[in-house]
Structure formats: C-alpha cells, structure tokens
Amino acid sequence: MKIATWNVNSLKVRLLQVLQWLKDNPVDILCLQETKLTDEKFPLTEIEAAGYQAVFTGQKTYNGVAILAKETASDIVRNNPLFPDEQQRIVAATFGKIRIVCAYVPNGQSVGSDKYRYKIEWLRALRNWLEEEKKKYPYLALLGDYNIAPEDRDVYDPVAWAGNVLVSELERVAFRALLDIGLVDAFRLFEQPEKSYSWWDYRQLAFPRNRGLRLDHILLSGKLAFLCSACTIDRQPRKWKQPSDHTPVIAELDL
C-alpha cells in the first residue's frame, strides 16, 4: 500500500490538482494539511466521485487537515486529547491494521515568539499522546507538515538559516523526541538525492533555484518501518500552474 502527505495551502484552490495527482498517483491514503475550509465547505462529493472517502476537521482561513482513503476509516480522532486546541491541526483514523495520524504542526513564526512557544508545547503534547497511541496501535504512521527541517542537510543554506524558526535547536529536539518514542523518518531509510526538499518559498524563484527545506515527513513505527520499501518526494506538482508551496511525500509499505 502507498501512503502520502501533502500540504495543499487551500483545498479550495488546489482541489483539481489533488484530484489530478490522485489520478496519476493512486495512493491508498493521502493526508492533507492547510485545507483552510470549514467542514461544511469540504468538497466531499468531488473526492468521493474520485473513489476516495474522507475524514477531516477544519476551520475558516487557517489550518485544517484531512485524510483521503480508499478504505473506510474507523476510530476517528480530531485533535490531540491531551492538548485542548481551537486550531484544527490533527486528524487520526485506523484503516485495516494501520493507524494514520495526519498533522499540521504550527509554524512558530519566529524563535522566542508566543507562536514559537505554542509550537513547542504542541509538539511536546503530540509526543506524549503518540507515546500512548503507539502502544495501542503498533502499526502507526505520523504524516504531515512538521514545519521542522530535522537536519542541516534538509536546508538549502544551513548557514543562512542557522537558529531560525523551522531549523532551531529546540524544534529539532522536539522532532528527535518523536524519534525517541520509536518512530523512524521513512525518507532517511533509503538513499536519497542530495538537496531533497518538500517546500520552496513562492518568492525569488526559490523552486527553480532549489532553495528549499524538507519540512514534510512520514514517521513510521518500527513495525511499519520494517515493511517500508520506498519513500520519495514528488516535485512534479510544484511545477504545475498555481502550485502549493509544498509537494507530496509518498511512502510504500509492503502491507
């Protein structure tokens, strides 16, 4: 089976691209972030017509997450039960034996800001929740926009970015804390091209210059990592007209 994640930066604007991408890449599960839609505006009809079911939680203007899947979801959870949050950033569901957690980690704005503290607290609560979830669901995958470049090799210019939000030490510690509970970065299970990124700024021709960051990740529990046969970033949709600034990340599981 194939699972994927894509921050679409408005599902309203990107719906046709999502449907086209699913036609080209008929993955079993696609996690979306930044849908920016309230639930009553979610384009369920169009998605179902494409052969997918969906679970989602959204709000106006900001955030919003969804899981599109060919199979029916069970045990749906919206947001982290350990972290009361008005912002809709997490949806989780079970498909067969696999537990999917779709997350849109806060951006953090700038190091030391209120939003940065919120990001760190949010990540700590995510870790604490998933530590328990992993015991309940040994086949667990955490997919999403983490808004963290875990290592310098995930940054086009690590010197210029040093200490900045998205790469700061505290954020990287929070990322490694997710690895510490037994999750594995699927992308790094395999040899990868150098300068592999999943996000490029819209400005200053960042994409053609490949000035990007790897912010979107698929973390797998040990049992799933053992079954993972590939993990790739699909740069193609970033070349399309009116693209999202993020591109999809895909993992293949022998499941």
Partner DNA sequence: ATGGCGGACATCGTCCGA
Backbone torsion region of residue 204, taken as left when φ is above 0, otherwise alpha when ψ lies between -120 and 50, otherwise beta: left
Active-site residue, from 52, 104, 137, 139: 104
- Residue closer to DNA (CB basis): 221 or 244: 244
CB of 27 to DNA, least distance (A): 21
Q: Is 234 a catalytic residue?
A: no
CB of 229 to DNA, least distance (A): 28
CB of 220 to DNA, least distance (A): 22
- Residue closer to DNA (CB basis): 45 or 191: 45
Query: Which residues are near DNA by CB under 7 A?
Result: 7, 9-10, 12-13, 34, 36, 60-62, 106-107, 109-110, 115, 145, 147, 165-166, 199, 201-204, 213, 215, 242, 245
- Residue closer to DNA (CB basis): 111 or 181: 111
- Residue closer to DNA (CB basis): 190 or 202: 202
Q: Is 62 a catalytic residue?
A: no
- Residue closer to DNA (CB basis): 10 or 128: 10
| SS3 readout for the chain | CEEEEEECCCHHHHHHHHHHHHHHCCCCEEEEECCCCCHHHCCHHHHHHCCCEEEEECCCCCCCEEEEECCCCEEEEECCCCCCCCCCCEEEEEECCEEEEEEECCCCCCCCCHHHHHHHHHHHHHHHHHHHHHHHCCCEEEEEECCCCCCHHHECCHHHHCCCCCCCHHHHHHHHHHHHCCEEEHHHHCCCCCCCCCEECCCCCCCCCCCEECCEEEEEEHHHHHCEEEEEECCHHHHCCCCCCECCEEEEECC
Distance CA 38, CA 45 (A): 15
Active-site residue, from 145, 154, 216, 245: 145
CB of 199 to DNA, least distance (A): 4
CB of 140 to DNA, least distance (A): 23
Known catalytic residues? 104, 145
